[in-house]
Amino acid sequence: MTDKQNKIINEKIFDKIRATSAFVGILKHYGKLSVPRDVFMTLITEKQEWPNDFIYKNGSSMLITYDEESDSFGFELKYLMDGDTPENAVGYQCTRNQTEVGFVDHDSPLYRS
């Protein structure tokens, strides 16, 4: 595949990646991750209201990179204004209000245990 073809494919994938799809892809690859409870403590100790909520304070933007050697995407909580954008950056995505998965009926038998 040529560099131009790779770039087109990566840009199309980038357009479809949202915080939730990135999260699902990460868990699909790693299977299971553990995060210390301390990371989430502000969810219960502080009022969760923008612009002082968990997402805004901890990563309302993520940098997505593509590594040609491993043919894989990288995800990092980072802002464009932080500078030092790597050469293999595909782009930056907002992690807030970017779910485009449609309505999920949680009362559906598919979701009942």
- Going by DSSP bridges, is the β-strand pair 72-77/61-67 parallel, antiparallel, or unpaired? antiparallel
On whether residue 89 sits in a domain, the answer given is yes
On whether residue 26 sits in a domain, the answer given is yes
Among 27-31, 97-101, 107-111, the range with the most confident prediction by mean pLDDT is 27-31
pLDDT value for 111: 59
Q: How far is CA 24 from the centre of its chain?
A: 9
Give residue-wise pLDDT tens across range 16-43. Answer: 998 889 999 999 999 999 999 999 999 9
On whether residue 78 sits in a domain, the answer given is yes
Give residue-wise pLDDT tens across range 52-82. Answer: 889 888 988 999 999 999 999 999 999 999 8
Q: CA dist 99 to 6, 70, 72, Å?
A: 25, 27, 22
Range of the domain at 32: 3-94
On whether residue 106 sits in a domain, the answer given is no
Burial 64-103 (b: 16+ CB within 10 A, else e): bbbeeeeeebebeebeeeeeeeeeebbbbbebeeeeeeee
pTM, entire model = 0.79
Could you tell me the maximum CA-CA distance found in the chain, to the nearest angstrom?
51
Q: What is the C-alpha separation between 56 and 81, in angstroms, rounded?
A: 15
pLDDT value for 1: 83
On whether residue 75 sits in a domain, the answer given is yes
On whether residue 108 sits in a domain, the answer given is no
Domain count of the fold of the chain: 1
